[in-house]
């Protein structure tokens, strides 16, 4: 299949998938909570560093992804199946409400803030 420069449906599908993968809207609350203690200049530097890192990783995957998979002997179909299994596993854990262990202690084991050791 030869792609023309103006093959809009193919480009549209690609960018919708890329947008879903990167999820810039969903990462905004995470970024705000992780950089709330920083100054505006430090927050901008963190933003630039994160965006450049993501761009480099995506471009490396785009241009070298097939070669990297071939080095390890992984086919595209195997990679798709493994990705599907991973997505289903994450979805099932989200449905069941088990997103991971929490490190919170129960209220019974907590000392009042004014207690001395």
Our CA angle for 23, 40, 48, nearest 5°, is: 45
pLDDT given for residue 88 in this prediction = 93
Contact by Cβ (8 Å): 53, 45:
no
Which of 7, 38, 17, 14 has the alpha carbon at shortest distance from 87? 17
What number is the average pLDDT over the span 90-98? 85
Q: What residues contact residue 99 under an 8 Å CB cut-off, 6+ apart? A: 93
- List pLDDT tens digits, range 17-39: 888 888 889 999 999 999 999 99
Residue 25 belongs to a domain: yes
Residue 50 lies in a domain: yes
What pTM was computed for the model?
A: 0.61
Average pLDDT of the residues in 40-50: 95
Q: Could you give the angle at which helices 8-22 and 40-71 cross, rounded to 10 degrees?
A: 120
Q: Which domain holds residue 24?
A: 14-96
pLDDT at 11: 85
Residue in the block written with tokens 């009042």:
112
How many folded domains does the chain comprise?
1
């Amino acid at each position: 299949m030869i792609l023309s420069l103006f093959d809009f449906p193919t480009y549209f599908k690609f960018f919708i998938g890329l947008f879903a993968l990167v999820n810039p809207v969903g990462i905004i609350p995470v970024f705000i909570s992780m950089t709330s203690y920083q100054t505006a200049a430090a927050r901008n530097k963190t933003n630039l560093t994160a965006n450049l890192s993501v761009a480099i990783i995506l471009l490396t995957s785009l241009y070298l992804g097939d070669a990297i998979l071939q080095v390890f002997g992984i086919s595209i179909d195997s990679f798709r199946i493994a990705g599907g299994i991973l997505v289903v596993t994450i979805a099932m854990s989200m449905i069941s409400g088990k997103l991971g262990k929490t490190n919170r202690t129960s209220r019974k084991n907590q000392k009042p803030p004014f207690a001395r050791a």
